Amino acid sequence: MADIDSRTAPRKVLRVRVKIVTQGAKALVGRTLDISLLGLGAMIEEPLPVGQACMIMMDLLVDGISRQFHAEARVVYSICSGTAGFRTGFQFFQLSAGNKALVNALPG
């Protein structure tokens, strides 16, 4: 796995609704902040433990068409951000070729 802190993949600003599903817990909904081929930043209402495996689900608008993005990830940080919730970083385990193409097609 790549180290998300190395920032070897350029991040793109992304502001969409995201659903985070963890095993044995309710799904969390939040808003994305940024995305790269390595991971995703999002604001969510509740903290998640570092290392928690999850499924990231969202719709991305690419060339005027809504496309589904589903990827397995793990939490790399979850920081309280006042009343806004928790700024949470996710590292993707491995993106499919289709998901890589979606991220690369996003503006920015």
Question: For position 76, which CATH number holds?
Answer: 2.40.10.220
Does some domain include residue 106?
no
Give the C-alpha separation, 26 to 38, whole Å: 25
Does some domain include residue 4?
no
What DSSP element (H or E) covers 60? Answer: strand 53-62
* Number of independent structural domains in the chain: 1
Q: Which residues pair with 37 in a beta bridge?
A: none
Does some domain include residue 35?
yes
Does some domain include residue 5?
no
Q: How far is CA 59 from the centre of its chain?
A: 12
Does some domain include residue 20?
yes
Does the model's pTM come out above 0.75? yes
Does some domain include residue 40?
yes
Give the C-alpha separation, 22 to 37, whole Å: 21
Does some domain include residue 59?
yes
Domain ranges, residue 83: 12-96
Tell me what the pLDDT averaged over the chain comes to: 92
Average pLDDT estimate for 68-79 = 97
Assess contact for 102 and 96: CB atoms under 8 A. Answer: no
pLDDT value at position 7? Answer: 58
Q: Which residue has the higher pLDDT, 13 or 26?
A: 13
